[in-house]
Structures are given as C-alpha cells and as structure tokens.
Amino acid sequence: MSDTHRRDGFVPVEDYAVLGDGRTVALLATDGSVDWWPLPTLDSPPVLSRLLDPDGGGRLTLAPSTDYEVTRRYLDDTNVVEAAYTTTTGVVRVTAALNVGSAGRLPWTELAQRIDILSGFVDMEWAFIPGDRFGRANPWVTQRDGSPFVTIEDQTLGLVLDGLSPAVTTPHGISGHARLSEGTRALLAVVATDSEPLFIPTAAAIQSRLDGTIQSWRRWTGLLSGGGPWTAAVRRSALALKTLLAEQSGAIAAAATTSLPERVGGSKNWDYRYAWVRDSSFTLDALINLGLHEEVHGAVSWLLGAIGANGGDLHVFYTLDGAVANYEATLDIPGWRHSRPVRSGNSASGQTQLGTYGDLFDTISRYCAEGHVIDPGTGRMLADLADRCCDQWRTRDSGIWELKAREHYTISKIGCWVALDRAVTLAEARQIPDLHVERWRAGTEEIRDWVNTHCWSDAKSAYALYAGTDDLDAAVLLAGRTGFERGPRLATSIDAITGELGRGPLLYRYSGMDQEEGAFVACSFWMVEALVHTGQTGRARQLMDDTVALANDVGLLSEQIDPETGAFLGNTPQGLSHLALINAAFALQRTGEHFSSSQLEWTPQ
C-alpha cells in the first residue's frame, strides 16, 4: 500500500476506524491518516477534515515512508486501534487512541499514537497539517521553547514527540521522519484545549495514559450483557455507540460525521451530529439489553431535559447539549469524492414528524418497565404530549424519512398508536396522570382501524408507504417490534418488502430509492426482528449472519451500503445501524432456539 490507495485524496468510507473519548471522535484510515477530528466536541468544526477536503481540510499522518502491507484491529474490548505495517525491511506496530484520564475524560483532548518496531528497521514519516475548520480560521504554527504549537481560532494544540525528532516546522504544518530499529518505542501525540491554557504532558505520562485507556475500555465492556451467537458483533456495536455518546450530557449522536453522501456524487449529504428522538427507543432498548444502567438513565434524563428546556415541544432532533437545532450552512469545500453540497448543521428539526410521539413514549415505557419512576413534573408533560398526539394524529407529516412531501405516512400513524398505547400503560402504572386515559385508549383503536383501512395495499398485500399509494416502506417492519401487528398482515408485508426493496441481505428504505441511494443498513436488522415476531426464526438467523458480515474489517457499519459493491455510503459510524444490530441479536437470543457452534462467534473480515 502507498498513496495510490487514495483516489483524488480520498479513501473508501469503509476504510475508517473510529476513536473516541466521550467528548469527540477521530477517524483513522488504514494508511495511518487521521482524516476527521472535530474539536473540542463531536459536533464542533473539525481541526482535521481531509475526509471532505483533501487539500485544505488538514490531516495527521503516520506511516512507513516505503510501500507496505497493513493489517489492523481493535484491541479486544476497546476503541483502541492497533495497525501492523510490514515493509521490505521490517515490521512496525502503531497503537492509536483518544486517551482518557484516571477518572474519566481528561480536562484536555489527547490523541496518542505509539510506535513499536517489532523486527528489522522501518523508515517512518509523519505530518501534522492542521485544517481551517470549515473555512472559519487560518491555522498558524509556532515554536515555543523548541516545541511546536498550533493556534486555530480558540483552539490551541501542541505536539508531543518522543523518538521522532527533529521536526520540520513551517507556518502551516509540522512534519518529520526517522529510521527506527527493532525494539524502539516512539510516540506521536497531539493535545488540545479550547479557550483555555494548554497543559503539555510528558511523553511518559501519555504512554501511561494510553495503557490506562485500554484498561478503562475493558472495564466498561466488562459491564456488557449477552448478545448470544453474535456477542462479538454486539460488543463492537456497543463500543461504536460509546464513541457517539456525549458523556457530559448523556446524548447519543446519530453519527460521527457530516455530509458523507448516500450516493457518490449525489446531493443527499446531511449533518448527523445531532441526537434524534427517533433513535431514542432503539437506544433505550439496546442499553437495557446490554445492562448499561448508567447510560440508560443518562439517555432518558437528557431526552426529557431537552424537551422540557424547549417549552415542552417535541422536536425531531436536538443538539448534543439539548438545544433546538436551527442552523444549516452550505460549505465551499469539495466533499467526499466530490459529492456536494457539504453541510454544517441541519435544518430538518422544524419538520412535523408524528412518529416522534411514539419514539418518546416507547422510550419512557421501556424505562419504567425496568422499575424506574417518572417524576410528577415529567408525568404532566408526558400527559400533555399524549393529548397533543390525539389532536394531531390525523394530520399529514414528513414521516420517519424526513420527506418534503407531506402525506399520511403509515409508519407515522403507527408511531401515534405506539404513543397512545404506551401512554395508557404508563397511566395505568400511575407513572403519568390518568385524567384522559380513556381518550388515549379510544385513540389507539381509531388509529388501528384507520391504518388497516387506509394504509393497506391490496395490490401488494402489504402496508404501504402512505395512504393511497402502493409504494412500500421498509420502516413498516417496525410494526412487529412495537406490537402494532405481528400476524398475517406483517408476514405478507415482509414478503412484499423483500421482493421489491430487497437486494441480497440489504433493503432500500422505500420504493424508488434504488435509483437514488444505497441500501439502508438498519432496515435489514428491522427485518430480522420482524421475522422473529412472525415466527420465522430460521430466516431471521440467516439474514442476521449475512448482514453482520457486511461490516468493515474492524466491525463498523455506516448508514448505507451499495448492494452491488459492498461499499459504505452515508455517515459513519452510524448509530442506528449499530443499535438495530444489537436489538436484532437480542430479539433472536430471546427466542431460546438452539444455535450451531459455527454461529457462536463472529470475527471482522
């Protein structure tokens, strides 16, 4: 491998592994380049964004200077990446992490890469070329007491080098090279702060924290429960989700990136660094299944706090600190493989999506089913939202897929049914006021009758995308998960969706999307759950195996996959893809059926 691995400066989306520290993430390619690193938080402008702008975005590179072969993995039960590079003269191992402290997140951000020469000698080269943070600033490199520092807006970054000096410093970057021999250990690290003094740790302290970070991840994964035959994939998915978790607030971002396209050269390029209410039910189910009680409470508290802080109104998604997202800008940069526009921010929060009522109430219902208690103020807010759902369920909306055309989307009506069904359950459990419980109960029957009358396609023997069409929507597979339908209508819908939207183990979101985008990974795992709920566990197991096998070499999944090539599309890693994997695995595990020994482990390809 060499620079020819890149095409116009880009690598495939599936080439990336993710590092995380509970505050931000970094995407690391197989050629040793950190191509994405927002600072100080995951949803901040990036200091490194070669992912979207190969020339001006910035990068941190570390690799042999000659041709090499590379293999990589996550160290077991961690988000620490280990890559082994083999050259004609020797073998080098690079271990990379976003370090954490002894008691959790560090007061600063610390990206560490440890270099160990395992045999022979290897000529290594490295460079830190800071980017312009989406055109917001002009980075500047200076020397202080012989050490290089970078200033970008309010960000101050320092390099800590051990065994790689001397460095060549220019006003816009820092680089160096070194011939390292067997037994040598070296270090390349970047530390950063935002609007505060920068603490420069010693190389030895960073090395020690790297070891501590490995142990910290393993202590956390030691808390995880189950997963059955797909335990390895479930654990990797849990670790991927942990990189998307904003530990300070409890919010979980939908993905780590912005503007990776759903089709190369296409315009469906969105900023997913927000927390969707849509994902909350999947999140709670996954966290409960995994036994992560602290994260369960944190996620619910964040969601309810965000709703309450914004007047009790239910928005489609929120920023990671709980505000209403109301900003979107188009950036003048190339985009991944020249797919434009590139967006910072997301303006879809103001859409009407009735399904969010169901997402919220299913989340709270799952939380309370674990024995937790809703406080009186939250109970009153939820009862008010249930009344609003009763008032609004007959209106048109943009649906789960945030479409411009407002219709009576089937999955939105099912979401309203879920909201009122769970509201009744919560009222009967005395978790929320029951003054209007009979209204909610009557609403569930009205919605069920309306959906079965208006949203059923006789031509397809399936639930339709929306009332009055024969187009199909893979999201209606969630009718099984929510309990709306687990009988013949779901069974025939499964067959119709498989026939029209399926390509191998993958599914397109709804009719016509095969001409516009890749297949949506989460839909395959929703199909697994739907098959389980209709008693088709054999088909479900096979589909689970086939879909899990589509993950990249370190077990990550993006939003979408090209069924023809297996190439990743859309933002990565995608939280919903990994949430759906976890929940499908536990749904299969709960069937209690015997699994063959060949299914007991999964290893990234």
Domain ranges for the chain: 3-200, 228-324+339-596
User: Which DSSP state fits 370?
Assistant: T
Percentage of the chain exceeding pLDDT 90: 92
So what CATH class is 3-200? mainly beta
CA–CA distance, 473 with 477 (Å, rounded to integer) = 8
Residue 358 has what pLDDT?
A: 98
3 state SS of 434: coil
Are the beta carbons of 584 and 525 closer than 8 angstroms? yes
> Is residue 604's pLDDT more than 50?
no
Q: What is the pLDDT of residue 102?
A: 87
- In this prediction, residues 302-328 reach a mean pLDDT of 93
Split at pLDDT 50, 70, 90, the class of 598 is: very low
Average pLDDT score over residue span 58-81: 98
pLDDT band at 5, cuts 50/70/90? confident
Mean pLDDT value of segment 313-329: 93
| E strand or H helix at 491 | helix 488-501
pLDDT of residue 146: 79
pLDDT (tens digit, 9 = 90+) per residue, 289-313? 999 999 999 999 999 999 999 999 9
The architecture (CATH level 2) of 228-324+339-596 comes to Alpha/alpha barrel (1.50)
CATH topology agreement for domains 3-200 and 228-324+339-596: no
Q: What region does 475 belong to: left with phi over 0, alpha with psi -120 to 50, or beta?
A: alpha
The band of 327, judged by pLDDT with boundaries at 50, 70 and 90, is confident
Residue 593: pLDDT band with limits 50, 70, 90: low
- Check residue 394 and give its pLDDT: 98
- Residue 202 pLDDT exceeds 90: yes
Q: State the pLDDT at residue 256.
A: 98
Question: Residue 595: what pLDDT?
Answer: 45
Are residues 352 and 395 in contact, defined by beta-carbon separation less than 8 angstroms?
Answer: yes
Q: Is pLDDT above 90 for 347?
A: no
Two tokens at 133?
């943070």
pLDDT at 475 over 60: yes
Query: Torsion angle, CA of 192/250/336/329, rounded to 10 degrees?
Result: -90
pLDDT given at position 409? 98
pTM of the full structure? 0.96
Asked if the model's pLDDT at residue 538 lies above 70, the reply is yes
CB 187, CB 112: distance < 8 Å: yes
E strand spans, 130-245:
140-144, 147-152, 155-162, 168-170, 173-181, 185-194
Encode pLDDT of 136-155 as tens digits.
Answer: 899 999 988 878 999 999 99
Contacts of 499 (CB under 8 A, 6+ apart): none
Taking the C-alpha atoms of residue 358 and residue 513, their distance in angstroms, rounded to an integer, is 25
Cα 43-338-52 angle, rounded to 5 deg: 25
> What are the beta bridge partners of residue 126?
62, 176
pLDDT for 557-570, tens place per residue?
999 999 999 999 99
Q: What is the dihedral of CA 558, 562, 563, 564, to 10 degrees?
A: -150
Q: List 16's β-bridge partners, or say none.
A: 29
Q: What is the pLDDT of residue 597?
A: 29
Tokens 């879909």 belong to residue? 547
Q: What is the mean pLDDT of residues 401-415?
A: 97
pLDDT band at 350 (very low <50, low <70, confident <90, very high): confident
Q: What is the pLDDT confidence band of residue 601, given thresholds at 50, 70 and 90?
A: very low
How much is the average pLDDT of 327-343? 95
pLDDT at residue 1, rounded to an integer: 56
91-135 residue pLDDT tens? 999 999 999 998 888 999 999 999 999 999 999 999 999 999 999
